[in-house]
Amino acid sequence: MEGPGQEAYEEGMRRSLDPEGYEDPGIKSSQISLGEMSRAGTASPLHAWRARAEELSPLRRYLPSRRGCYDLDGRRRAAGAPPAQASGRGGGQPVSVTDVDLEAGGSRRPLFQRETHEGYVELHELVMDSTKELCWMEASHWLKLEEDFKEDGNWGQPHLSFLTYRSLLEVRWALAKGAVLLDVAANSLPAIAHILIDQMIYEGQLKPQDSDDILRTLLLQHKHPSEAESTGTLPPAQLQRSGAGRSDTEQPLLREQQPLEMRRLGGKQSLSGASRPQLHEKIPEDAEATLVLVGCAAFLEQPTLAFVRLKAAVPLDGVLDVSLPVRFLFVVLGPDRPHISYHEIGRAVATMMSERVFRRDAYLADGRPDLVRGVEDFLEASIVLPPTESPSEQQLRRLVPLQQELLRRRYQPPERALVEDPLKDLQLNGSAPEDDDPLRRTGRPFGGLVRDIRRRYPKYLSDIKDFLSPQCLAAVIFIYFAALSPAVTFGGLLSEKTKGMMGVSELLISTCVQCALFSILSAQPLLVVGFSGPLLVFEEAFYSFCSDRGLEYIVGRVWIGFWLVLLVLVVVACEGSFLVRYLSRYTQEIFSFLISLIFIFETFSKLITIFKDHPLMKQYNEQHVGQPHMPQPNTALMSLIHMAGTFFLAFFLRKFKNSAFLPGRARRLIGDFGVPISIFIMALADFFIKDTYTQKLKVPRGLEVTNSSARGWFINPMGEKKDFPIWMMFASVVPALLVFILIFLETQITTLIVSKPERKLVKGSGFHLDLLLIVAMGGLAALLGMPWLSATTVRTITHANALTVMSKATAPGEKSQILEVKEQRISGLLVAVLIGVSILMEPILKYIPLAVLFGIFLYMGVTSLFGIQLFDRILLLLMPPKYHPDEPYVTRVKTWRMHLFTFTQIVMLVLLWVVKSTPASLALPFVLILTVPLRRFLLPRIFRDIELQCLDADDAVVTFEEVEGTDVYNEVQMPS
């Protein structure tokens, strides 16, 4: 029915839709009619528009304001510009409504800066309710993860959405052909529905005679599932034209395909109770919702998809089950076809909108091509499983590295670095990007130290202000007990090793003073300074060395302290902290494994000594009961019970922290204080057992030294009881070098761990300044007969975790993200003060049995093994290959070559143990350093680069969440 009248009517309709654009005389020369824009098989909508011409004009107020117009090929042009050539894109492309303003030359420029938000998605399906009326029923919702309403009347557990590849292709095709309206200025569902239907009619996707039926359908009541009604209990509806019988409306909507994912892939677990969990508490405050509507309409000739982005999010009353404004609307309608599942298409759309990258693309899209490109990018980051036999769980795990690589490319595109560099420059007060590396050498004497001071001290005021948070106060209490327990434990063992020359009193005072000074002056105040296992091993070796040669042990430590100060000045002047780069996991694991073995060996060695001093006998001399130097009944057995009880109780509480019992906060509280709880319980048990003697911790009163008859608070460098040999004053440089190596290793490796990018520290670290402070304070502390200290790995990581603020409003099952870290100095200072006050706790500490401290010693040795890959590979020597884990060092390295690498570490362990067991035990750090050239120069000749990357990679995961079987010890490679 083409003719002059119809052409004139088309011209009038163009004017009514967009007077500014279609008044352009140039468009009158176009010979393309609106009927040619419709799809094949779809009647031209022009004959029905005469009846609705009056309705379209008022609805224009909801459309975005614009100075340009649309060409008939779907592109916009400026007012007065000629229409595009038909050969450019083809005249059949549908029109897309956007908020793009046009400059004079036709370039696109956003009217305003769009912001993205967190997303919440609900999928509603067209069903027939119990009263035989059509309605929209919520089938699932997404808060990053999908939650389905199960057929048993409960909401299921959040799970990943498993999509069919066909549904993603259908979405891509439908979005390229469907109606797209961007930044629609509507504030109600009826207004949105009217605009959407008019656009679908205009694009030829919908016949005008069906508009009323679609409009009524879009405005149907929205319901939410309950035990009585849900998509699993209600029949899907098939929309018919007005006047069709009810029996035609109750046609099945691919019933056999709809519950596939919900029943099979969604998992068997469900939440107890029919009511929805407290979902609103998990939704971020600034979140905006997406509504996805899917249904079957028999009178449509092909599936259609309509996408609407509102100019501003608006609340739609009675639609969502949560009070969130809606920003996006998807409508998927189509005929009942055997190979199309609208449920799966709706799930695919909802899953894409719950994914943050595609949601960002939807917010920032300027037109249909941007949306289609977003779908294609989503497909590129997706993995498709071929239709083969069901893969095993181990085979599926091999997809994880591929998925991680795809996500890395999706979340961190190459251009990201160009965007972030200016931000980094601002954070570093205008410093160059290469200044971000605190280990970069400047080539000037003390250049690294000066740079550390310039980087950190300008933030000193914020280091004080950032403490004003309840989380920091809670961290002080927690870290106090975390630091006090090992201080008491190592103090008691140190007193045993040195025959009372140093003990609990000296260690507590040294920890108090050095921690306070370090918190005030350091570049990384999150480090927790304390005594550690390697230093205890050295103290024992040096005491034995001095005793065998008749030297005064406490005076020799003074000269070691003098040399320590000199050594650290030389190293800091030469910026020697960069050497920590050469300490690979190979060396760290050997040393860590050795210290763990020493902890375990010393525990049982002390227990055997108790059994020798108090052997098990049938009869005991009653006259000797109560005399500690004589064999006492039940003392050995009670010591064994104390040691084993303390170990198993502390170990159980560590596991309990990561279990599923009790609420998370209570579980973490119990687990974090596991060591002091274990000490308290076993000491309390010993207190109530009056008739059995056990050796107790020796703690002096007040500020007295442990052995006041042997020394005072000031140590004379020239000798206490006799003159100190001059040759030993100079020879002390050798043990000083050994101590320096131990402190250097622990301090710098601990700083590396706490400075990992995953922890998102923003104030930086200072390797040179912190090393100078710790070593110099330890060297001067030797003048007072107090132990030297180092940065302690486990306590430092615990301190950093306690000050890390994690996001709370996350999706169910989603990992929490770091919001900020309270980088401040006051918490460490307060912990130091509390430890100093603990010196006055002698009336309480004297009741702790030494066997309880042996149990803590055993606990530290055993738990330190769990984070060591060497320990895991030693266990693999005893396992058949089919039981080996799916780890890179197993799957990408031949088994015999993996065992060969393990064998080289075992050989070095044996060599170190032999050195430790001989009078040359002081040379232990020297032998350890030999593993560095061994790793750098010899092993590359035996193993390929890819093998060394798998076997010697620093892949320790930063631990924030309480995952079963994982805690901070899995991140630590140095025991402390």
Instruction: Convert the pLDDT of each residue in 130-161 to its tens digit.
Output: 888 888 989 888 888 888 887 777 788 888 88
Instruction: Convert the pLDDT of each residue in 951-967 to its tens digit.
Output: 887 654 444 444 444 45
Instruction: Convert the pLDDT of each residue in 759-790 to its tens digit.
Output: 778 887 888 898 999 999 988 988 988 898 88
Q: Are 69 and 101 in contact (CB under 8 A)?
A: no
Q: How far is CA 701 from CA 517, 530, 698, 845, in A?
A: 25, 22, 10, 11
- Altogether, the residues listed in the chain come to a count of 976
d(Cα 119, Cα 142) in Å, to the nearest integer? 8
Q: Are 794 and 959 in contact (CB under 8 A)?
A: no
Q: How far is CA 810 from CA 283, 362, 401, in A?
A: 7, 21, 24
- Sole residue written with tokens 């996001």: 807
Instruction: Convert the pLDDT of each residue in 410-420 to its tens digit.
Output: 876 544 434 44
d(Cα 179, Cα 185) in Å, to the nearest integer? 16
Cβ-based neighbour number of residue 681 at 10 Å: 15
d(Cα 22, Cα 80) in Å, to the nearest integer? 9
In this prediction, residues 48-66 reach a mean pLDDT of 41
Q: Are 226 and 209 in contact (CB under 8 A)?
A: no
Model confidence at 292: pLDDT above 90 = yes
The helix/strand/coil state of 157 is coil
Instruction: Convert the pLDDT of each residue in 224-264 to its tens digit.
Output: 888 888 888 888 888 777 755 444 444 443 333 344 443 33
- Sole residue written with tokens 């420029």: 109
- Is residue 973 very low, low, confident or very high in pLDDT (cuts 50, 70, 90)? low
d(Cα 382, Cα 403) in Å, to the nearest integer? 8
DSSP state of 381: T
- Is residue 290 very low, low, confident or very high in pLDDT (cuts 50, 70, 90)? very high
Q: How far is CA 949 from CA 330, 397, 892, 970, in A?
A: 47, 20, 10, 19
Model confidence at 690: pLDDT above 60 = yes
d(Cα 305, Cα 171) in Å, to the nearest integer? 8
pLDDT of amino acid 415: 47
Q: How far is CA 517 from CA 529, 833, 839, in A?
A: 10, 11, 18
Selected residue with higher pLDDT from 168 and 398: 168
pLDDT of amino acid 113: 53
d(Cα 735, Cα 557) in Å, to the nearest integer? 9
Q: How far is CA 815 from CA 279, 521, 806, in A?
A: 16, 35, 10
pLDDT of amino acid 330: 92
Of the candidate ranges 764-773, 895-904, 911-920, the one whose mean pLDDT is the lowest: 911-920
- Is residue 623 very low, low, confident or very high in pLDDT (cuts 50, 70, 90)? low
- Is residue 265 very low, low, confident or very high in pLDDT (cuts 50, 70, 90)? very low
Tokens, residue 364: 């920032």
pLDDT of amino acid 566: 93
State percent of the chain over pLDDT 70. 76
**Which residues, 6+ apart, have CB-to-CB distance to 856 below 8 Å?**
485, 486, 489, 646, 647, 650, 675, 678, 679
pLDDT of amino acid 342: 86
Of 651, 631, 638, nearest in space to 683 by CA? 638
Of 217, 221, 259, nearest in space to 238 by CA? 217
Cβ-based neighbour number of residue 148 at 10 Å: 29
Q: Are 503 and 492 in contact (CB under 8 A)?
A: yes
Of the candidate ranges 25-34, 340-349, 385-394, 827-836, the one whose mean pLDDT is the lowest: 25-34
Q: Are 697 and 849 in contact (CB under 8 A)?
A: yes
- Element of type H or E holding 350: helix 342-354
Please name the amino acid found at residue 332: V
- CA quadruple 88, 93, 95, 100: dihedral, nearest 10: -40
pLDDT of amino acid 863: 79
pLDDT of amino acid 420: 41
User: What is the gyration radius of the CA atoms in the chain, in angstroms?
Assistant: 37
In this prediction, residues 283-296 reach a mean pLDDT of 88
For residue 308, what are the β-bridge partners?
Answer: 181, 329
d(Cα 741, Cα 43) in Å, to the nearest integer? 85
Three-state SS string over 869-911 comes to HHHHHHHHCCCCHHHCCCCHHHHCCCHHHHHHHHHHHHHHHHH
d(Cα 149, Cα 266) in Å, to the nearest integer? 10
**Which residues, 6+ apart, have CB-to-CB distance to 41 below 8 Å?**
301
- Is residue 569 very low, low, confident or very high in pLDDT (cuts 50, 70, 90)? very high
Tokens, residue 325: 């404004």
Of 37, 374, 332, nearest in space to 172 by CA? 374
pLDDT of amino acid 491: 83
- Element of type H or E holding 146: strand 145-148
pLDDT of amino acid 26: 34
Q: Are 410 and 357 in contact (CB under 8 A)?
A: yes
d(Cα 603, Cα 516) in Å, to the nearest integer? 32
For the chain, the first-to-last Cα distance in angstroms comes to: 90
**Long-range contacts formed by 170-173: CB under 8 A, 24+ apart:** 170/303, 170/340, 170/345, 170/348, 171/305, 171/345, 171/348, 171/349, 171/352, 171/375, 172/372, 172/375, 172/376, 172/379
Instruction: Convert the pLDDT of each residue in 432-445 to its tens digit.
Output: 344 467 777 888 88
Model confidence at 812: pLDDT above 80 = no
Tokens, residue 356: 């943050």
Tell me the backbone φ, ψ of residue 223, rounded to 5 degrees. -120, 165
pLDDT of amino acid 957: 46
Of 534, 584, 537, nearest in space to 931 by CA? 584
Model confidence at 2: pLDDT above 80 = no
User: Alpha-carbon torsion 667, 669, 673, 678, what sign?
Assistant: negative
Three-state SS string over 99-114 comes to CEEECCCCCEEECCCC
Tell me the backbone φ, ψ of residue 614, rounded to 5 degrees. -130, 70
Q: Are 852 and 643 in contact (CB under 8 A)?
A: yes
Model confidence at 479: pLDDT above 50 = yes
Tell me the average pLDDT of the chain: 75
User: Alpha-carbon torsion 507, 510, 512, 515, what sign?
Assistant: negative
- Is residue 294 very low, low, confident or very high in pLDDT (cuts 50, 70, 90)? very high
Q: Are 143 and 283 in contact (CB under 8 A)?
A: yes
In this prediction, residues 498-507 reach a mean pLDDT of 84
Angle at alpha carbon of residue 762, lines to 759 and 767, rounded to 5°: 85
Cβ-based neighbour number of residue 354 at 10 Å: 22
Of the candidate ranges 63-67, 227-231, 479-483, 492-496, the one whose mean pLDDT is the lowest: 63-67
Q: Are 222 and 135 in contact (CB under 8 A)?
A: yes
Instruction: Convert the pLDDT of each residue in 531-565 to its tens digit.
Output: 887 888 888 888 888 888 888 888 888 899 999 99
d(Cα 895, Cα 918) in Å, to the nearest integer? 35
Q: Are 342 and 363 in contact (CB under 8 A)?
A: no
